[in-house]
A and B are shown apart, each in its own frame.
Chain A
Amino acid sequence: MKRFLKSINIPELIRPLGQLVFFSLGTTIVLSAIVLVFALILDRTVVGQTLFERLNVSLFTYTLINLPQVAIDGLTIGFVYAAIALGYTMVYGVLEFINFAHSEIFAVGAFVGVEILIALDRFGILAGASLVMAYVYLILAIVGGMLAAGGLAVAVERVAYRPLRHASRLVPLISAIGVSFLLQDAIRLVESLTTGQFNRIFPTFGNFDRRVILGKMALGTTNITLGVSIKSIIVIVSAVLMLVALNYLVNATKVGKAIRAVAQDHPTASLMGIDVNRIISLTFLVGGMLGGAAGVLYALKFTRIDAFVGFFPGLKAFTAAVLGGIGNMTGALLGGIVLGMLETYAGSYMGVFTMGAAGTEYKDIFAFSILILVLIFRPQGLMGANVAQKA
């Protein structure tokens, strides 16, 4: 036991936690400061007056009072993006190509998890489940989603990427896009043959839909309730656990060392006695499992899924990976959090700041313009492609 404890690399457990807290706080502070400055500037203009007429509150107060809720919402979606982005970044680290099928691997995870729960619900197990059992079933669904997605990712690599490993770099990329379409329609086909339905809906059970109220704040004539739903907490906690576990695997274990070695140089790694193919399969397994778990969490948070559910989260997570510096795990974390926060802040405040002219619907323009700016002025991403650490 003592030896086991000794073998745990404590700093490697704490370091990613510290990074997560630092990134979350840092992004929150920076973005909050920016919107508050905007609010102060616009308060004196017609924008502030319009809002005052509508809600009887100054723009600055409005912005300030909404901030905590916006930050919590942004973090929740940010962690989901980070978990998916890690799948892109890990594959890029070892193979230097973008696995566009990752968004469908995410979708398959979501479908398997939700189908497990729907099956349990059909047998009437979920309805009467105690709180503890509800969490057990949720974990069962997440594990089911992880295994299916991980297995699928390994299979996709074996079938569609390995034969193309020595082809030019564009070839596996095209193969990945093909796999992506194939999987989308495969999900659709399976669903229409078995259930005949396009939408699958996460069953209601346990206390996930409940909300922890953190406080009430007066805003003009109404009250804003600050709170966080239990499912958001579950999403954040699970994502943090996964990220810490992944970081530990890559940076503090023998297998992780092998992954890093393969990422740096395939031929040399194989000369050192590392089975390169096995390590690449393992990378896909781990990335796929993360994506699958993220899929189930996404379904938990947003209730409804369909065969094309992976497209947007996948695209955003890919953006997050590029934003942070593709190939860099810490960068994927940062990119996910920044992108999630950015789009939530933009979506929440753009409508008010522009007097409704450019509302929530344009939040993606904002997020992607930042990406373009980062790529122009810092092509390697926010954290840079950290070669020594890339994995």
Chain B
Amino acid sequence: MTKRFWIVFSLLIAVGMVFIGPAAAADQIIKIATQSPLSGDNSAVGVDIKRGAELALEQMSAPLAKMGFKVELAPFDDQANPDAGVANAKRIVSDPAILAVVGHYNSGVQIPSSEVYHTSGLANVSPANTNPKVTTRGYLEVNRIVGRDDVQGVVGADFAAGKKVKSVFVVHDKTAYGQGIAEFFKKRAEEKAMKVLGFEGTEEKANFDSLLSPILAGNPDLVYFGGMYGQAAVLFKQAREKGYMGMFLSDDGFDSTDAVKIGGQTLLDGAGTFYSTVSGPATIYPGTAKFITDFKAKYNASPQPFAAQGYDSMGISLKAIEAAAKAGGNKLPTREAVSKAIRALQDYAGITGKFTFNSIGDPTVAKYFVIQVTSPDPAKWNDNPVVETLDIAPPK
């Protein structure tokens, strides 16, 4: 029975191929996939990355349509989960019509998923992933349009220098992320002629009394913390309670409403609290006005963070596919050609900036923001104003 079944099955497949084959050749379908969390905790941001990409596809696929290609969106839900991301990535690479992936919100999902894209040379433009490892693996396929975690320390130090900070005490959480940022901060602070009174790592989560003695004795203008809000906010609160009135500065690990739940009013006292991050609200970028209007008209909601980056990532993918198709004599380009075309783009004018990628896929200039905490009310966390925007090149 099984033998006969397989014969019939193979025949059916063969007949199917005969029908499908010429059909595909006539239509020239190009698909661009998105991968972002469409369900679960991070879905608010993830859905809007997809929507931003969708909007870009509608507005910018005309040149490809003229060349006889039909461009389609293939949205995938990575659930902010590495396993789901990798499973989707395997489905994506097995679909030959997909020529690029706009994707991932979480670095932890992007890194394993892009290993799969790498095996088949499929281009990936990331709208949101900041971990250095995203690009430092040096894959031709992987690019991103946002900044890197390891530049944030430099951003912080430059900001502090702008605030006329003369002395600083640096604390970090001993993780690769926190200590990395803190070390970059320290190096830059010294270059900017700030006095670094101390550089301490701590895993302590509660009792910062003994760490605070040398801090208070030195009375620095600024206390910098490289790490997450859980430690930073507790440290800042205890420092204020002990009478420290200088400025606090942290990184995007501080970006959580829990920070202000812990620190409360103490974060606003004295010289205040600031943190650096790689993405501002969409309104902060020049050139997003039309995008925001279009977005609201189509989806009846304001774009979440990274929606504009989703739009730009899709724009870059379309532009590169177009360039690769032209170079190949208006034929369907290969995945490799698309990857190379993305790297070769010069000054792509997106709505969140002008993008040229360096040899490992980082933008040659990325935007960084410094945000001030202005309300002790956790509900108003997202209203905290951006006090500084910086354009910085990635580290060599």
Contacts of B206 in A (CB 8 A): 298, 301-304, 309, 312
B112 CB to nearest A CB, Å: 24
Could you tell me how many residues of chain A have their Cβ less than 8 Å away from some Cβ of chain B? 47
A residues 300-356 with Cβ under 8 Å of B?
Answer: 301-304, 306, 309, 312, 343-349, 351-352, 356
Contact B202 A348 (CB under 8 A): no
Asked if B210 is at the interface (CB within 8 A of a chain A CB), the reply is yes
Q: How far is it, in angstroms, between the C-alpha of A135 and the C-alpha of B237 when the chains are bound?
A: 21
Contact B219 A73 (CB under 8 A): no
B172 CB to nearest A CB, Å: 10
Q: How far is it, in angstroms, between the C-alpha of A39 and the C-alpha of B210 when the chains are bound?
A: 17
Contact A351 B230 (CB under 8 A): no
Interface segment among B136-144, B258-266, B298-306: the answer is B258-266
Contact A199 B258 (CB under 8 A): yes
For A76, give the chain B residue with the smallest CB separation.
Answer: B209
Out of B211, B214, B262, B266, name the residue touching A201 (CB < 8 Å).
B262
For A228, give the chain B residue with the smallest CB separation.
Answer: B242
Asked if A77 is at the interface (CB within 8 A of a chain B CB), the reply is yes
Out of A201, A356, A360, name the residue touching B261 (CB < 8 Å).
A201
Asked if B21 is at the interface (CB within 8 A of a chain A CB), the reply is no
Q: How far is it, in angstroms, between the C-alpha of A301 and the C-alpha of B207 when the chains are bound?
A: 8
Given A227-B243, A347-B210, A351-B198, A54 and B218 contact (CB-CB distance below 8 Å) = yes
Contact B264 A70 (CB under 8 A): no
Q: How far is it, in angstroms, between the C-alpha of A302 and the C-alpha of B208 when the chains are bound?
A: 9
Write out, one digit per residue, whether chain A residues 206-229 have a CB within 8 A of any chain B CB (1) or not (0): 000101010000010111110101
B5 CB to nearest A CB, Å: 48
Asked if A384 is at the interface (CB within 8 A of a chain B CB), the reply is no
Q: How far is it, in angstroms, between the C-alpha of A69 and the C-alpha of B243 when the chains are bound?
A: 12
Asked if A175 is at the interface (CB within 8 A of a chain B CB), the reply is no
Contacts of A363 in B (CB 8 A): 210
Asked if A49 is at the interface (CB within 8 A of a chain B CB), the reply is no
B97 CB to nearest A CB, Å: 40
Out of B214, B230, B242, name the residue touching A211 (CB < 8 Å).
B242
Q: How far is it, in angstroms, between the C-alpha of A24 and the C-alpha of B206 when the chains are bound?
A: 23
Asked if A253 is at the interface (CB within 8 A of a chain B CB), the reply is no
Out of B197, B213, B237, name the residue touching A303 (CB < 8 Å).
B237
Asked if B234 is at the interface (CB within 8 A of a chain A CB), the reply is yes
Contacts of B230 in A (CB 8 A): 199, 304, 306
Out of B202, B214, B234, name the residue touching A361 (CB < 8 Å).
B202
Contact A69 B213 (CB under 8 A): yes
Contact A359 B205 (CB under 8 A): no
Contact B195 A66 (CB under 8 A): no
Asked if A111 is at the interface (CB within 8 A of a chain B CB), the reply is no
How big is the B interface, by class? 35 or more
Q: How far is it, in angstroms, between the C-alpha of A346 and the C-alpha of B266 when the chains are bound?
A: 28
B371 CB to nearest A CB, Å: 21
Contacts of B262 in A (CB 8 A): 199, 201, 303-304
Write out, one digit per residue, whether chain A residues 63-82 have a CB within 8 A of any chain B CB (1) or not (0): 00110011001101100000
Contact A359 B198 (CB under 8 A): yes
Most A CB atoms within 10 A — which of B174, B206, B216, B219? Answer: B206
Q: How far is it, in angstroms, between the C-alpha of A225 and the C-alpha of B174 when the chains are bound?
A: 30
Contacts of B207 in A (CB 8 A): 77, 301-302
B residues 153-183 with Cβ under 8 Å of A?
Answer: 174
Q: How far is it, in angstroms, between the C-alpha of A213 and the C-alpha of B209 when the chains are bound?
A: 16
Asked if A373 is at the interface (CB within 8 A of a chain B CB), the reply is no
Contacts of A201 in B (CB 8 A): 258, 261-262
A residues 347-381 with Cβ under 8 Å of B?
Answer: 347-349, 351-352, 356, 359-361, 363
Contacts of B261 in A (CB 8 A): 201
Q: How far is it, in angstroms, between the C-alpha of A211 and the C-alpha of B242 when the chains are bound?
A: 8
B271 CB to nearest A CB, Å: 15
Contacts of A223 in B (CB 8 A): 219
B residues 252-299 with Cβ under 8 Å of A?
Answer: 258, 261-262, 264-266
Contacts of A225 in B (CB 8 A): 216, 242-243
Contact A73 B210 (CB under 8 A): yes
Contacts of B242 in A (CB 8 A): 211, 225, 227, 229
Contacts of B234 in A (CB 8 A): 302-304
Q: How far is it, in angstroms, between the C-alpha of A361 and the C-alpha of B171 when the chains are bound?
A: 10
Given A304-B230, A360-B200, A361-B202, A209 and B210 contact (CB-CB distance below 8 Å) = no
A353 CB to nearest B CB, Å: 11
For B219, give the chain A residue with the smallest CB separation.
Answer: A222
Asked if B199 is at the interface (CB within 8 A of a chain A CB), the reply is yes
Out of A54, A224, A302, A360, name the residue touching B216 (CB < 8 Å).
A224
Contact B243 A347 (CB under 8 A): no
A residues 176-221 with Cβ under 8 Å of B?
Answer: 199, 201, 204, 209, 211, 213, 219, 221
Contacts of A387 in B (CB 8 A): none
Asked if A62 is at the interface (CB within 8 A of a chain B CB), the reply is yes
Out of A298, A345, A352, name the residue touching B214 (CB < 8 Å).
A352
Asked if B217 is at the interface (CB within 8 A of a chain A CB), the reply is yes
Contact A356 B199 (CB under 8 A): yes
Q: How far is it, in angstroms, between the C-alpha of A225 and the C-alpha of B240 when the chains are bound?
A: 12
Q: How far is it, in angstroms, between the C-alpha of A65 and the C-alpha of B216 when the chains are bound?
A: 12
For B167, give the chain A residue with the smallest CB separation.
Answer: A54
Write out, one digit per residue, whether chain B residues 98-134 have a CB within 8 A of any chain A CB (1) or not (0): 0000000000000000000000000000000000000
A residues 77-129 with Cβ under 8 Å of B?
Answer: 77
B168 CB to nearest A CB, Å: 13
For B231, give the chain A residue with the smallest CB separation.
Answer: A304
Q: How far is it, in angstroms, between the C-alpha of A359 and the C-alpha of B258 when the chains are bound?
A: 28
Q: How far is it, in angstroms, between the C-alpha of A213 and the C-alpha of B216 when the chains are bound?
A: 15
Contact B241 A209 (CB under 8 A): yes
Asked if A241 is at the interface (CB within 8 A of a chain B CB), the reply is no
A165 CB to nearest B CB, Å: 35
Asked if A55 is at the interface (CB within 8 A of a chain B CB), the reply is yes
- Can you name 13 A-B pairs with beta carbons within 8 Å? A66-B213, A199-B262, A201-B261, A209-B266, A211-B243, A222-B219, A229-B242, A304-B206, A347-B210, A356-B199, A360-B202, A360-B211, A360-B214
Taking A302-B205, A356-B198 as given, write out 16 further A-B residue pairs in contact, using a Cβ cutoff of 8 Å, ordered by the A residue number. Answer: A54-B197, A55-B218, A66-B213, A77-B207, A77-B209, A223-B219, A302-B207, A304-B230, A304-B234, A309-B206, A343-B210, A344-B210, A347-B210, A356-B199, A359-B214, A361-B203
Q: When A and B form their complex, which 7 residue pairs have the shortest distance between CB atoms, in order from nearest?
A: A347-B210, A302-B206, A348-B213, A73-B209, A222-B219, A225-B243, A360-B211
